[in-house]
Amino acid sequence: MVLLMEEKNKENKLNEEETKVDDVSFEETEEGSLASDPKKTIAKLREKLKEAEAVKNKYLDDLHRVKADFVNTTRKNSEDTKQIIKFANQNLILDIIPVLDSFDMAFSNKEAWESVSKNWRLGIEHIYSQLLRTLEGAGVKQLSPEGQVFNSEMHEILETTPTTKKEEDHKIISVTQKGYTLYERPIRPAKVKIFEYKD
């Protein structure tokens, strides 16, 4: 709305500038009459026309610049809004992740897990898979980077183990707690144990 008012003001100024161009009297020139020197009168009129065109072009350039700025701002605001919507669920997802951790802890206790009925275990595993699929649909990806090379953006070191093999340096031995990303952006690093090369 403000930009439209600015454009209207610029148009009004342009009109004022065009009407301000001095009228050259056909009866009163420097020599006293049009007949005395019509060439000078025509030259003066051409000069005034050039000035008016220069003023018009300046305001047209300004108008095009304002329009381009408006389009760019609108596009940027639209992209920002998409990003806000994309990551709006981050806090809810961070609240759900500890539930997934509880599932992982239950699965990792092999003795207790194997002691319950197979049908019950299959049901729980199905619920866990459903929850993961739902989160994946919202852009969440689970990180279990065992065997990968340590990445400080995605992983957090809990423990290091010395190794004499250079190719194992900073390789992840095990994952203590899985990490998560939201649309490829890390929202919780995976907690890991890594090898550290020592001569």
Domain residue limits, the chain: 38-86, 90-197
- Report CA Rg, the chain: 37
Give this prediction's pTM. 0.63
3-state secondary structure of 172: strand
Provide the residue-wise pLDDT of the chain in tens; the chain has 199 residues: 554 556 566 566 655 555 554 444 444 444 445 557 888 888 899 999 999 999 999 999 999 999 999 999 999 999 999 888 888 899 999 999 999 999 999 998 888 888 889 999 999 999 999 999 999 999 999 998 999 999 999 999 999 999 988 898 999 999 999 999 999 999 999 999 999 988 7
Backbone torsions φ then ψ of 152, nearest 5 degrees: -65, -20
Single-letter amino acid, residue 111: E
Q: Which fold has domain 90-197?
A: Nucleotide Exchange Factor Grpe; Chain A, domain 2 (2.30.22)
Helix axes 118-137, 90-108, angle to 10 degrees: 150
Q: Is the dihedral of CA 146, 138, 89, 77 positive or negative?
A: positive
Of 158, 193, 159, 186, the closest CA to residue 97 belongs to 186
CB atoms within 10 A of CB 165: 9
